[in-house]
Structure formats: C-alpha cells, structure tokens
C-alpha cells in the first residue's frame, strides 16, 4: 500500500500541530491526536512507567506523558526516532523519556525494559525500505509471538494498535480475555485498540466514536461515546 497524500495534506487532515517533525511515511502511520488523547484517558492510574514499541514520531507518547512518571520509546528507524526526540523536546517532556533505537523483536532489548504498561504500535499498513535494504513490512514479527514476548519480558498490560481487518475472533483465540475496541474517527472505522491484562474494562467487542474538526486553524475535539 502506498501513500497518496502529501506531508502537508496528512498534517492538515489529521489535526497534527503544524510544527510537527516527521516524514510523509512516519506521519501517515502515526496515531490521530484525537485517538491518542482518548487513549491517554484510558491509561490514567494504570502505572508509573509506559513503553511504546514502535513509537514513531511520538504522537501517542506526547498524549500519554502526563499520566506516567517515565516513558520509554523504542523505534527501529533512526531518522524517525530523531523526529520523535525533536517533537517531545518541543513539548517539554523529553527529560522524562528514554529513547532506544532498535528492533522490538530483539528479546535482548525487551529483557532490559521495566514498565507497567506497553503499547505495541507495529506498522502493518505501509511499506518502506530501511537503510539496510529490507522493507519494514518484512520485519514485522508474527503478532501472537510478539505479544507473548512482551508478556514474558515486560508486562501483561498491553495495548495493541491493530488495523481494521484484524478480527476479534482471531484475537480472542490467541490472547484470551481481552477488550477489542473498534475506533471510529469522524465516522470512519480507522483502527482497533486491543486491551490486555488489567487494561480490560469490558470483555469482548466495544466501540469508541471520536470526532474532531479544524476550525480557524485550531482543533475542536469531541468523543460522544
């Protein structure tokens, strides 16, 4: 799958800050701010340390930073990780974040992580060639295997960002008790948040419908249910 929108169009359509740092690919894969803000509310009082595996340019980390004493961001792409540093420094929160450049499927990295909550934001949607000649899609680990690694080495309290085509029955079969939340943004089914461990509030399939609009250069947000 390719990216049709330009960088400027992506920033405008998603409601990012105009000063956000990132390339066309990393901004396209990043979370919508309205969805990241909602997730921040869900994660309040869930622990002191959060790690985001595949943290991208830091949109989600910026949103959840106020809910945790410390954050850890892991990203395989050194250029994208630098964008993340710049964005979180501009937000005034870089001092509470440890940045790690590396492959999240490397168990030696996972063993060193201590966190109460893990966000797993693997990029399933768009291909990109990495500096070593491989494609990011070819580097994606099998989901079930990766989640077991996170459970074993870091925490059972996990949020998975998953594409709309991933179905609840498959997730339930692989991971047991979970909350499979369908995220709609301005009426469009955009992604799933899959909550595991003590992050589950309602077992089974739930929905969250989020809205935002850009008025006069500002963003108006509303989450009606």
The pLDDT score that the predictor gives to residue 4 is 75
Task: Give pLDDT, residue 142.
Answer: 82
* Domain ranges within the chain, ordered by starting residue: 7-222
Query: What are 59's two structure tokens?
Result: 């949109």
Mean pLDDT, rounded, for 112-136: 76
Q: What is the mean pLDDT of the chain?
A: 89
Q: Which pTM value belongs to this model? A: 0.90
Which of residues 159 and 104 earns the better pLDDT score? 159
Candidate CATH numbers 3.30.70.270, 3.40.190.10, 3.40.50.150, 2.60.120.260; the one for domain 7-222: 3.40.50.150
Whether pLDDT at 140 is above 50: yes
Of 213 and 154, more confident: 154
25: pLDDT confidence band, cut at 50, 70 and 90?
A: confident
Other CB atoms within 10 Å distance of the CB of residue 204: 12
Given a cut of 50, whether residue 1 has pLDDT beyond it is: no
User: What per-residue confidence (pLDDT) applies to 224?
Assistant: 54
pLDDT digits (tens, 9 = 90+) for 155-212: 999 999 998 988 999 999 999 999 999 999 999 999 999 999 999 999 999 999 999 9
List Cα–Cα distances, 66 to 18, 19, 41, 49, 70, in angstroms: 22, 21, 10, 11, 9
Residues 115 and 155: their CA atoms lie apart, in Å, by 7
Rounded distance between C-alpha atoms, residue 76 and residue 100, angstroms: 8
What's the pLDDT score for residue 123? 62
Per-residue pLDDT, averaged over 135-154, amounts to 82
Burial class (CB in 10 A: 0-12, 13-18, 19+), 164: middle
Please compute the mean of the pLDDT values over residues 100-108 and round it to a whole number.
Answer: 91
């Amino acid at each position: 799958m390719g990216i049709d929108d330009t960088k400027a169009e992506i920033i405008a359509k998603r409601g990012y800050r105009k000063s956000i740092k990132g390339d066309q690919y990393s901004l396209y894969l990043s979370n919508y701010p309205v969805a990241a803000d909602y997730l921040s509310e869900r994660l309040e009082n869930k622990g002191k340390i959060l790690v985001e595996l595949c943290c991208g340019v830091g949109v989600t980390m910026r949103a959840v930073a106020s809910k945790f004493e410390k954050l850890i961001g892991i990203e395989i792409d050194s250029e994208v990780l630098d964008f993340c540093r710049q964005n979180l420094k501009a937000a005034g929160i870089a001092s509470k974040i440890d940045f790690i450049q590396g492959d999240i499927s490397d168990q030696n990295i996972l063993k060193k992580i201590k966190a109460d909550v893990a966000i797993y934001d693997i990029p399933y949607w768009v291909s990109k060639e990495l500096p070593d000649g491989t494609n990011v899609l070819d580097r994606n680990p099998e989901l079930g295997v990766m989640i077991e690694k996170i459970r074993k080495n870091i925490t059972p309290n996990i949020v998975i960002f998953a594409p709309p085509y991933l179905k609840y029955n498959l997730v339930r079969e692989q991971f047991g008790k979970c909350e499979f939340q369908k995220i709609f943004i301005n009426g469009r089914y955009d992604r799933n948040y899959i909550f595991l461990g003590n992050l589950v509030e309602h077992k089974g399939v739930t929905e969250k419908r989020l809205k935002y609009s850009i008025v006069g250069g500002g963003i108006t947000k509303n989450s009606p249910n």
